[in-house]
Copies of this chain bind each other. A is one copy, B any other.
Amino acid sequence: MLVGKVIGSVWATRKEDGLTGLKLLIVQPGLTETDRPGQPAFVAVDRIGAGVGDHVMVTTGSSAASILEGKRLPIDALIIGIIDSVDTGSG
């Protein structure tokens, strides 16, 4: 899963069916501040209460599409975790 920082939100009135009511956040990918500028920001669905400034884990691709039992949504990025801490050094 990709790691990034929430930097904002997106509003879109005209959308594909089934997407109404979904919270759409902008994520800048990168594990550390120095990673960030290189990779383009993107939009991810959030259902767990992430907000601007949070460091999050994002699942991308069709794994994100099966969040509603028995129904595939036309989405390809879902925030799956709000990071408490990152430990680079011990197993």
Q: Contact residues of A with B, CB < 8 Å?
A: 1-3, 6-16, 19, 24, 26, 29-31, 35, 38-44, 47-49, 51-53, 57, 59-67, 72-91
Contact = CB atoms under 8 A, between A and B. Distances in A.
A76 B63 contact: yes
B59 A76 contact: yes
Given A15-B48, A40-B29, A63-B62, A78 B74 contact: yes
A11 B41 contact: no
Nearest to A45: B1
A56 to B, nearest CB: 8
Given A8-B88, A43-B3, A86-B26, A15 B72 contact: no
